Amino acid sequence: MCSAEQTINAYGWAATDSSGILSPFHFIRRANGDNDITIKILYCGICHTDFHLAKDELGMTTYPLVPGHEIVGQVTKVGRNVSKFRVGDKAGVGPLVDSCGRCENCDEGQENYCSKLKWIFNGQFEDGLRSYGGYSDKLVIHERYAVLIPDKFPLEGAAPLLCAGSTVYSPMIYFGLAEPGKHIGVVGLGGLGHLAVKFAKAFGMKVTVISTSPNKRNEAVEQLGADAFLVSQDQEQLQAAMGTMDSIMDTVSASHSLLPLVDLLKTNGKLILVGAPVPPPELPVLPLLFGRKLIAGSACGGMKETQEMIDFAAKHNIAADIEVVPMDYVNTAFERLAKNDVKYRFVIDVANTLNPSF
């Protein structure tokens, strides 16, 4: 266990039981080590996963839980072995805080698939300390698990990229979807979906947004720049679009059938799942066999890929569309998030609204 000299005091907001209600919370983090950086947290995005974790709906929560895995802030301290950051730099942290660092996945920059991966919201370190998320004032983390935010990047719009941006960028690169002129369908127009549209357009792809909500046509085409819009409940539209898409990225977490999406793919097409539907959908095997089509899943990117994503986003002016809220609004934000009442991501103004005097 760590001694008092090896820890620092921190504060934030935490859920203490499965009601999912957050309240002010004091806790400790480890002190800055030789390979660590300390970050003053400025902004933190609110992801659907935060809401599910707070209520333990994924069965992996350890209370008390400080959520938050879309973090941007300013580096206030660096360890003597740190080479990537200097005091004053802007840094970003996503869901990952540790991995074994030695396996094949880690060697290839795919720490997100390491069997000993530790998540920021519930990681247990060898020194006995818990990891806590970004709804808090500061964070101490090994430099490997932080990315450098380019100068002049709007930090509040950058925060959701640390999870949502990485989650849509990673499969576009790995599965070879990001080719100019290729046709991609994006299922769902929420936090993940709107960023998938932005990245795909920056890659020069033709983008069709697929949604159950006809009223999202204007925001998809006029606001986000999608080339087309398809109502997934309209059988005539589905029939007309059959076999026209090179790939589809499915960002929806609600239960839905995959068969209509598979039918939209060309021969050799790829359907990539980045949402996690509950209950899981049935697998339409015959259309896969007779079209040599692929259904695959993908999580957030590893650290190398996440840095590449941030650099690409800064170069192409890609930021999340957000609603900035104070820390004490977080429970209301969760309520609205459950109703999909946000376009498209809440971001907490941590630095200006987290009050330590409670």
Kindly list the averaged pLDDT for each block of 10 residues, start to end, along the chain of length 358.
70 96 95 96 95 90 96 98 98 96 94 94 84 96 97 95 97 96 96 97 98 94 96 95 98 91 98 87 92 95 96 97 97 93 94 83
pLDDT for 1: 43
Tell me what pLDDT residue 5 has. 60
* pLDDT for the residue 15: 97
- The whole-model pTM stands at 0.94
Rounded to an integer, what distance in angstroms lies between the CA atom of residue 235 and that of residue 240?
9
* Phi and psi angles of residue 292, each rounded to the nearest 5 degrees, phi first: 45, 55
pLDDT of the residue at 357: 62
Residue where the block lists tokens 């409940």: 233
The predicted structure's pLDDT at residue 358: 54
The Cβ of residue 135 has, within 10 Å, a number of other Cβ atoms equal to 27
One-letter amino acid of 306? T
Q: Please give the pLDDT value at position 6.
A: 83
Query: Residue 167: what pLDDT?
Result: 96
Task: Give the integer Cα–Cα distance in Å for 96 and 5.
Answer: 25
Which DSSP symbol is given to 180? T
CB-count burial class (<10 Å; 0-12, 13-18, 19+) for 352: exposed
Angle 139-145-149 from CA coordinates, rounded to 5°: 80
| Cβ neighbour number for residue 21 with a 10 Å cutoff | 15
